[in-house]
Structure 1
Amino acid sequence: MSLENWLVLGALLWGAVAGWLLPRPVYRLAVPAGEERPERTPQGREFGGAFGGWLGPARAGGERYGPSAPPTAVATALVCGALAAATGTRPELGAWLLLAPVFVLLAMVDFRVQRLPDPLTLPLAGGALLLLGGAALLPEHGGDWTGALLGALALGLFFFVLFLINPRGMGFGDVKLVLSLGAVLGWYSWGGLLLGTFVGFLLGALYGVGLVALRRADRKTSIPFGPFLIAGALLGVLMGAYAA
């Protein structure tokens, strides 16, 4: 089996393990505005396990209180496997594999409560630039760190303007999220950044139209935009990696 195939297999396993640990942080971070994060399970048990009880399946006493771990593990594994298949042996693959579970976590939290937690969004932007900066120092990297930095600034500024124009239509959490998305999209090319952003808007619009068509929402109903921005960014990175 070739090195590339081993990388894909390793990425799938990494994604499965990382995804298996996501349900509990999803539950603890998916808190509506104005409410405190839970310090105990709904059954009254203390969170135990790795990192102060922040990682692991969301189960207590045989009862599930958060997302199911197997679907989360499968989804994260598929994302990591696709990134490995597209990137190959280039050093930025390490950055993608470390960032991907966090983006999956953010998408799940935003979809549940339409909120992106600050403890993740802002550090994630710095982490993305730091990881890509490390990749840029290694031989055979396929992108450009300056492009990542400019992508983060450009997309952040664009969304900040949208927020100022229509605060009800664009949450400030999305503004902070796109700093990291702009970095990963700008790493390969401006074309990838434009493609990923366009796809994110398109997916969000289609989701909103679908809800209206099913009479589950109206034109004034807010929707979680983060998951669609993240999905668009994934497509943009995959296309950029293949092109590189």
Structure 2
Amino acid sequence: MTALLIAVAALWGAVTGALLPRAAYRFSVPSEEPWRRTCPAGHPLGGWLGRANCRTCGGGQSYGPGGPLLAKSYRPGVAPLAKSYRPGGLLLPTVTALVCAGLAAATGTRPELAVWLLIAPVGVLLAAVDLRVRRLPDPLTLPLAAAALALLGLVSLVPEHAGSWPHALYGALALGAGYWLLWRINPGGMGFGDVKLALGAGAVLGWYGWDTVLLGTFAGFLLGALWGGVLVLAGRAGRKTAIPFGPFLIAGAYAGLLIGAYTA
């Protein structure tokens, strides 16, 4: 039964992850700029879910959050070959599938698993966008927090759940307030998007109690510090170089959630 649940969760992650590339491309713009409405060639682009490709471009041009990896290839009388962009087409589905499989293995058949599987693709999308352009879009962070609290409120009415909705609410408020304080103390070291993301992270961590909130928060800062240290040692960053913290906040919350779910 557990193996089947993990397989179904992984399949869910692969399918939902395959729908993320277009949203990742459209959201991956610098701060204060509007979301992308066109492909790299300037053709209008509609919708937010699905493959990152433009059917107007000759040969079907694919794109993603990064810049082009391969130059155009033209031959007289032949449609342009497809151009590939960062990241690869399998990256987001693979990561999302692994995340969902891990959540299923840790949570088991408890009803809150449905919530984790629903919000996991959003976390992967946020991490992908922040890694590329150091931006956490409001249309993702704020609805994530609201959806997490609303869905967990429904799950709290279902028997055999292992968490507490009041603790989820308090966790969201506490972690959001903590990150807001850090942002006020050092606005250059943390973006306000991290504060908004902390609301959702605090909600999912708080579901399993304060120990999980502290564990997930510590894990996020630890992972961010380790990555910054690696960049400094590699000569790719200085001591004051800013790095996108959203992916580490999400990774820390994921680690805390796995442990909290497994021990609940």
Considering the TM-score relative to the shorter chain, is it more than 0.5?
yes
Q: How does 1:156-235 map to 2 (within 5 A)?
A: 156-235=176-255
Alpha carbons 1:109, 1:116 under 8 Å: kept: yes
Q: CA deviation at 1:46?
A: 2.8
What letter is aligned with 1:37?
A: W
Structure 2 residue 128 is the aligned partner of structure 1 residue 130: no
**Counterpart-to-counterpart distance in 2, 1:23 and 1:119:** 16
SS in 2 for 1:69: coil
What letter is aligned with 1:108?
A: A
Q: Which runs of 5+ in 2 are unaligned?
A: 65-86
Q: CA deviation at 1:57?
A: 1.6
**Counterpart-to-counterpart distance in 2, 1:181 and 1:38:** 27
| TM-score normalized by the length of structure 2 | 0.88
Root-mean-square deviation (Å): 1.1
Structure 2 residue 36 is the aligned partner of structure 1 residue 38: yes
**Counterpart-to-counterpart distance in 2, 1:216 and 1:75:** 25
More helix by share: 1
**Counterpart-to-counterpart distance in 2, 1:105 and 1:111:** 10
**Counterpart-to-counterpart distance in 2, 1:154 and 1:134:** 22
Q: How does 1:39-188 map to 2 (within 5 A)?
A: 39-47=37-45, 52-60=46-54, 61-66=59-64, 67-188=87-208
Superimposed CA distance per residue, residues 124-159 of structure 1 (whole angstroms, 9 cap, x where no aligned partner): 111000011111110000100011000000001111
Alpha carbons 1:15, 1:101 under 8 Å: kept: yes
Query: Could you say which residue in structure 2 is the equivalent of 1:12?
Result: 10
Alpha carbons 1:22, 1:69 under 8 Å: kept: no
**Counterpart-to-counterpart distance in 1, 2:191 and 2:33:** 18
**Counterpart-to-counterpart distance in 1, 2:138 and 2:98:** 26
Q: CA deviation at 1:190?
A: 0.8
Superimposed CA distance per residue, residues 174-233 of structure 1 (whole angstroms, 9 cap, x where no aligned partner): 000000000000101211110110010011011111111111111121100000010010
Superimposed CA distance per residue, residues 22-69 of structure 1 (whole angstroms, 9 cap, x where no aligned partner): 11101100110132222111123332xxxx421112123433310322
Query: Could you say which residue in structure 1 is the equivalent of 2:67?
Result: none
Structure number with larger C-alpha Rg: 2
Percent of pairs with identical residues: 63
The aligned length equals 238
**Counterpart-to-counterpart distance in 1, 2:157 and 2:223:** 35
What letter is aligned with 2:52?
A: A
Q: Which runs of 5+ in 1 are unaligned?
A: none
